[in-house]
Structure 1
């Protein structure tokens, strides 16, 4: 809870402090409005206050936060991906997202690193289903080029990494394969066990090519992956398997992994996080 509170204050300053102070009252109001029962906060809160509970007999997850636009984008992405392996949205309002809860809800992170091959198989099947979703005709999803425009700003990141990331970005965008609706952050913690199947949570909703999607999985979970003595061989093996699964270019996957590592490093700086892990991952991927 302390980490969550500090994250909110770091991002939103006095507005965040006031939101935290008003949070108990907000939860009571939401409980009454949506007829929710037995709400309990989940473990490992980060930037949103997440609770599990029930709406009648339905097991639900309630997310509350200050990133109102982010919640709207997530709800739009979930609705666009309905029927293709994501959790169901029940309601979305300003700073609130109510959705069905996966059960038992254990994440794919539980497979890493001992059952990494099985985790890769799950991930591949999740992507195959997810990427069948058509891009809605009328949508406001960003393109990955919009995210990657941030590379053109000044950052306290070594110049050789920024320059390389920009060069790779420009080439990757210029030679992009068929564009589809991507999750945008498809790592282990966003893939949950639901009965005998797996479902996806927390989509960003972004337009881009398939090779972009696998990069988040390849570099996660952090910091656990980096604590493995064989982390480099794990990363290489994952890349090889995804090349085989999707008939993708190995070079293209490696390049997207590097670009994304620099991008997440930048986001870590923006969010005032400990950036050590992103810096280490960038250096590892640079060697590939």
Structure 2
């Protein structure tokens, strides 16, 4: 008889803290749910249970598939459509989807290993992320959230947060972000956007050198991914420079060239994202260095 999986204590505590009794109920039910999914998909456990921000990942073996994982996410609208993105990509630029159980927010996915953080050459890492952005820019499935529909909320929240925080950013920086939202917000293609293409969401794989995981499943301009590519710990030194404009522009050009996206649009959307993150970081107590670095990024991309 198979022993039930053990939910890592650190992950359990995280869900208890963030989701209260609902999180506790979900964590308690997880071992039985994983057992059910193992039977449904004819898999056997094949390694230690891992976890991220929203769910757990169980390495498994299946006699007719490559090494795989069962991923189960905490029920939330943001993760409900994740399988649709994998289905649209069909394993090109992202891990393959082998099976899905939407009622449980669960998937059977191709296994990958080792994050992009192991690539020490910044230009090489940017080229990899740019190549994935290009590969993932496919026609979006129907029903996914459209970035263009969120623009009014973005603008409203920026104005309200800036006012509540005592206008911590120069007015011209906020105005530049609002201008981009106004001018480009509704002019966005029906393209699937990963939405969170940072180092930890790019993994090495056996089938391909690098594949993406954990999409946020948005529809709009692929240039939105530039912020999480550049606002990265690997560029910490650059982000802390008193005048980082030239260096950041050079890094952005490398990424945009590989991604085949317009550097000007990427620059403008990155500036919008940096303004939003700078304000959000203050509200949610991000480290001071990160807030300052994001402030600089918001100004440098104008």
TM-score relative to the length of structure 2: 0.76
Going from structure 1 to structure 2, the CA distance change for 1:83 and 1:3 (only over 3 Å counts) comes to closer
Q: Give distance in 2, aligned partners of 1:212 and 1:87.
A: 21
State the superposition RMSD in angstroms.
3.2
Q: Equivalent of 1:33, from 30, 40, 59?
A: 40
Q: How is 1:24-103 mapped onto 2 (pairs within 5 angstroms)?
A: 24-43=31-50, 45-58=52-65, 59-89=67-97, 90-103=99-112
1:115 deviates by: 1.1
Paired residue for 1:261?
A: 274
Going from structure 1 to structure 2, the CA distance change for 1:80 and 1:265 (only over 3 Å counts) comes to farther
1:88–1:100 Cα contact (<8 Å) kept? yes
Paired residue for 2:217?
A: 205
Unpaired runs of 5+ in structure 2? 1-7
Going from structure 1 to structure 2, the CA distance change for 1:127 and 1:263 (only over 3 Å counts) comes to same
Q: How is 1:216-255 mapped onto 2 (pairs within 5 angstroms)?
A: 216-220=228-232, 222=233, 225-226=235-236, 228=237, 232=241, 235-245=248-258, 246=260, 248-250=262-264, 252-255=265-268
Would you say 1:125 and 2:131 are equivalent positions? yes
Unpaired runs of 5+ in structure 1? none
Which stretch of the first structure deviates more once superposed, 210-219 or 32-41? 32-41
1:50–1:64 Cα contact (<8 Å) kept? yes
Q: Deviations over 1:243-279 (max 9, x none)?
A: 54436234x4333223223445677789x6x522652
Paired residue for 1:145?
A: 148
Which stretch of the first structure deviates more once superposed, 10-19 or 63-72? 63-72
Q: Deviations over 1:206-238 (max 9, x none)?
A: 122232122211112x4x643x47755564432
Q: Give distance in 1, aligned partners of 2:182 and 2:19.
A: 33
Going from structure 1 to structure 2, the CA distance change for 1:91 and 1:124 (only over 3 Å counts) comes to same
Q: Deviations over 1:165-200 (max 9, x none)?
A: 575144245236651221111122222222343222
TM-score relative to the length of structure 1: 0.79
| Structure 1 SS opposite 2:203 | strand
Would you say 1:187 and 2:198 are equivalent positions? yes
Going from structure 1 to structure 2, the CA distance change for 1:27 and 1:165 (only over 3 Å counts) comes to farther
Larger radius of gyration: 2
2:85–2:215 Cα contact (<8 Å) kept? yes
Going from structure 1 to structure 2, the CA distance change for 1:3 and 1:18 (only over 3 Å counts) comes to same
| Structure 1 SS opposite 2:81 | helix
Q: Give distance in 1, aligned partners of 2:188 and 2:273.
A: 19
